[in-house]
């Protein structure tokens, strides 16, 4: 059975069994956004960025703790998934620094 998650006020995932409540919570992008930073302003307007979001569904398809967060580095199309908010934030910050340093 697929479990749906939302975040509580402490950024901890909690299971939401009511599909309507989950969908209403998930609909608001601010509930799902962990962090978003532009890393390079490109002349063509297609800026590079690092985006980290809460997925709301477990992406650990092999058992174990749920993987609920994802970071995208647009310059490389690299996607990395994380177990916790704090792990996701730490990776996001490292990715932003690495992208800005590579310019």
Q: Distance between CA 93 and CA 69 in Å, rounded?
A: 14
Residues of the chain with pLDDT > 90, as a percent, come to 83
Interval 13-24 mean pLDDT:
97
Q: What angle do CA 38, 35, 10 make, to 5 degrees?
A: 165
- Are 69 and 53 a contacting pair, CB within 8 Å? yes
Residues of the chain with pLDDT > 70, as a percent, come to 98
pLDDT digits (tens, 9 = 90+) for 42-73: 778 788 999 999 999 999 988 899 999 999 99
- Are 71 and 79 a contacting pair, CB within 8 Å? yes
For the CA atoms of 22, 24, 29, 62, what is the dihedral angle to 10 degrees? 20
- Are 11 and 68 a contacting pair, CB within 8 Å? no
What total of structural domains would you count in the chain? 1
Collapse the DSSP code of 62 into the 3-class scheme (helix H, G, I; strand E, B; otherwise coil) and give the result.
Answer: coil
Q: Which domain holds residue 72?
A: 5-101
């Amino acid at each position: 059975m697929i479990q749906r998650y939302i975040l509580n006020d402490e950024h901890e995932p909690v299971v939401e069994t009511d599909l309507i409540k989950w969908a209403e919570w998930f609909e608001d992008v601010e509930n799902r956004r962990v962090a978003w930073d532009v890393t390079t302003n490109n002349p063509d307007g297609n800026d590079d960025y690092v985006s980290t979001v809460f997925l709301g569904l477990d992406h650990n398809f092999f058992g174990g703790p749920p993987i609920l967060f994802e970071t995208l580095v647009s310059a490389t199309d690299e996607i990395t998934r994380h177990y916790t908010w704090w792990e996701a934030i730490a990776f996001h910050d490292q990715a932003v620094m690495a992208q800005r340093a590579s310019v």
